[in-house]
Structure 1
Amino acid sequence: MSAAAMVATDGVDSIRIAFNEGSMTVLRIAIASILFGIALDTRVEDFRQAARRPGVIAVGVAAQFLLLPALTFALTLALNVRGSVALGMILVACCPPGNVSNIVTHQARGDVALSVSMTAVGNLLAIVLMPLNFALWGNLHPTGGPMMRAISLDPVDMLIEVGLVIGLPFLVGVALAHRFPRVSARASKVIGPAAFLLLGALIAVALANNFALFLGYIGIVVLAVFLHDALALGLGYGIARAARLPGRSVRAMTFEVGVRNAGLGLLLVFSYFGGLGGMALVAAWWGIWDIIAALALARWWRRTPPAEVPQAAAATRA
């Protein structure tokens, strides 16, 4: 994979990190395979379970697709970050959850069934809501908006890209899982981790090829990503506690809201923004830091039993 970059006096907003066509194809395959692996481990029963817990799912959907993008927008204003960094933060906030949320929920002794159901619903809704959310908040941003309008980003084009990369493999995977459950269950244990490793390798190679730029500008995004990730995890935890969910559900909700599929965001940065510096750095660093933070929280939670609420009250709220 080759990568090139240009630095101008304007700083991070002028960096351009370019993937060649071969690398873009591999990146699309990696993201599609991750979603395909999630779908192979998803059953129609997961959607039925979600339908049986409409209150809990509604809380999660509101946190992911309404509150997180809005709070992220406010955070970019509070931090006064550059336009490309702000757009990167907003884009990541609009991304759906990934299968990492299911893994860390299991490690944290959380409600895995709820986590899987929310991941399935979240990725399905993200096909439409992600492009619309990003177009809304990105265009509203005082410094990011002019950059978006200069590129003339069409939400319909992004919707098609998201539909092809996450919608199609997800729907095909769910259909195969329903038709061939045993084969799909075995395949998901290989495809998902392999795709995740491929994505990690792509990010690592991209950072290595642009290491001087990474060192020169990472200080601009480290604090922003740290606070943004803490905001996302805190939002999931806070809204679950406010809804008085059981302890295991609180842990699942924390990770479903806090863990974002930053790899998808990185793909969109290269597809529509020409590898715009701040956006690429935010998406790449988020993909690394988000996993570290989620694993650390999961390990800490694993040492303590989750607080529960009376069964009757939990059933009423769900």
Structure 2
Amino acid sequence: MSVLLASSSSPLRHGRYVPAVLHRAFGGSSTSQKALPFSLRNARESIAEDGKPESRFVRMLMFGKPGAGKGTLSARLVKKYDIMSLSTGDLLRQHIAERTEIGQITEGIVATGGLISDDIMLRVVTSRLELLHNKHWLLDGFPRTLGQGKLLDDHLRQRGTPLSLVVNIDVADEIILGRISDRWVHLPSGRVYNLSYNPPKVAGLDDETGEPLTKRPDDNPEIFARRLEKFYASTSPLLSYFASQAENGTSLVTLKGATSDEIWPQLENILNSAFPSLKERQDHKRRNSLSDAVLARAEADTTTRSVA
């Protein structure tokens, strides 16, 4: 019943230093070692046969290790398709700015660096989701713990709008380590360079200003290992929970690849196959149509000149 949509991952480059703590993290990567269940056929059937129009809508969570490209893929989805991305951080700031009841409760907690309780965070999220009953959406930043995941899942099911898709972006730990080890940044502008695929014209210097490049404080193997351990500790239980909800209409898929460009076609294939009501944004279609028209005109001009 399980289908693993995967592409091969490139190995760790020879000679790269990998500290012992990362070897332990790699060895304990249950997410990367086990396929998570997803059946595209079952996703289509649940959409077509349960008789609920709401089931045709994308109600989606996306998980991924730090540096796996989750943000890049989410942005591409929102740019191309009629999907609304909801950031819990943005929603919380909006409540505070508008002085809502939730905003007044959380403002002091945020100001003092305290932790907002799960039930309040659920209210922050669901207050907006209630307005998107017949819309496609992608939720970013929530849930982060198993308790939050169960609260969200129970709330949505009670309202007849359960999560339809949970995506786990699985990029090998070694590949992410390679990215951060090769990454350099020009701090004043935020321009990022990578020695593997986007090196500066002059080693160690920003292309535009000639100023020195630096490493981000968290771009080192030790800090990455700690972030990875936190990811496994919090996210693995969430993925196991959503895997157990497959028979209740929530599909879980793990997508493997070394880059966002490798994973993107897999993600598009799932959405286009399982959610026939999902449409491309009109402005995206117009841009593509215009590009096609320009290309066709250029080819026609070339053909005419050749004949002449």
TM-score range, shorter chain: under 0.3
TM-score using structure 2 length? 0.26
Higher strand share: 2
Larger Rg: 2
Higher helix share: 1
TM-score using structure 1 length? 0.25
